[in-house]
Amino acid sequence: MAEQAPDVSFLPAMQRRRLSRLARMAFAVGWPLAEGLQDLPLVFVSRHGETPRTFEILSDLANEQPLSPTQFSLSVHNAVIGLWSIMRGETSEMTALAAAGDGFEQGVMEAACLLREGAPAVLLIVTEEQPPAAYGPRIDDVPFAYALGLLLTPGDDWQLDLGGKTAVAAVTEPHALSWLRCLLTGQRTCTHTWKSRTWNWQRKP
């Protein structure tokens, strides 16, 4: 999965050239969901962001090489939503979050707030790029590159509660993907613990 190139053939070649793999993954899962929709708010979630770009910039800095303004501008955390806005001509509210190990739930909460404010739908994109090997001892929650896109609309199919830390079985896959597995297999509950926070998902009758 980490070696596959995301399909963004729906974009002109000149636009594709500006996209990193992280951005390509985000566009690949988000673009089909946004097709035909206008004024669609976007919540973009990535804990680590553009690690290959930032590592390259830091390497150039350490080697006293000139820094690329283009690389820098595309490395900031809201670069993906900026490119999304430009390429789709989208001017609705967009948010980029880096919310530690429970970014998926934080993104869902942000989207729920936008829905509560009156948005008919919100696009949620959660994505991580596999970091350079040098980050291995420090980034241990990205076993492979991935992206998840969800088009959220008002409803009460699920209940999400936040509680204190509880004992849970260790998981080896990113939580956003664990939740997707729960959804697709029809499970009624899903739990995610991060440090002192436990998020409890429950499918309502």
pLDDT by residue (tens digit) across 88-104? 999 999 999 998 889 99
132-152 mean pLDDT: 90
Tell me the pLDDT of the chain averaged across its residues. Answer: 91
| pLDDT one-digit tens code per residue, 147-180 | 999 999 999 999 999 987 666 555 678 889 999 9
All domains in the chain, ordered by first residue: 13-156 (3.40.47.10)
| pLDDT one-digit tens code per residue, 47-69 | 999 999 999 999 999 999 999 89
d(CA 39, CA 42): 9
115-119 mean pLDDT: 97
DSSP 113-167: HHHHTT-S-EEEEEEEPPPPGGGTTT--S-SS-EEEEEEE-S--SEEEEEEE---
pTM of the model: 0.91
Residue 144's nearest CA partner among 163, 127, 162, 124 is: 127
By DSSP bridging, strand 122-128 and strand 146-152 are: antiparallel
Per-residue model confidence (pLDDT) at position 142: 84
Which has the higher per-residue pLDDT, 195 or 47?
Answer: 47
8 Å CB contact between 46 and 20: no
